[in-house]
């Protein structure tokens, strides 16, 4: 469909027909990644073991940078 409207690029976050992307969208994606890692760990081991490290890294960098982008520009 994007070939019909070349002005609406898939990476365009400036607006479009639905407006700009919400500030919490990146945080929601990071939380879904964390749920994936914890679910994989619990499925394999029956408890949370190794997934603490990737979850901590995703939350620290992903959510941290998303919040910096939100509140650092205001």
Q: Residue 67 domain-assigned?
A: yes
* Residue 3 within a domain: no
Tokens of 24: 């919490």
Residue range of the domain that includes 50: 25-72
31 located within any domain: yes
Residue 60's Cβ-count burial label (10 Å; 0-12, 13-18, 19+) is exposed
- How far apart, in whole angstroms, are the C-alpha atoms of residue 39 and residue 43? 6
Contact 34, 40 (CB under 8 A): no
Instruction: Note whether residue 56 is domain-resident.
Output: yes
Q: Is residue 46 part of a domain?
A: yes
pLDDT in tens, 7-62: 555 555 555 677 788 878 888 999 999 999 999 999 999 999 999 999 999 989 98
**pTM attached to this predicted model:** 0.66
For residue 69, what pLDDT band results from cuts at 50, 70 and 90?
Answer: confident
Question: What pLDDT score does 70 carry?
Answer: 79
Number of domains in the chain: 1
């Amino acid at each position: 469909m994007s070939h019909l409207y070349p002005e609406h690029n898939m990476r365009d976050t400036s607006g479009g027909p639905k407006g700009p992307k919400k500030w919490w969208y990146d945080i929601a994606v990071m939380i879904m990644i964390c749920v994936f890692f914890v679910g994989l760990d619990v499925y394999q081991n029956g408890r949370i073991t190794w997934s603490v490290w990737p979850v901590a890294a995703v939350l620290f960098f992903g959510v941290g940078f998303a919040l910096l982008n939100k509140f650092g520009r205001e």
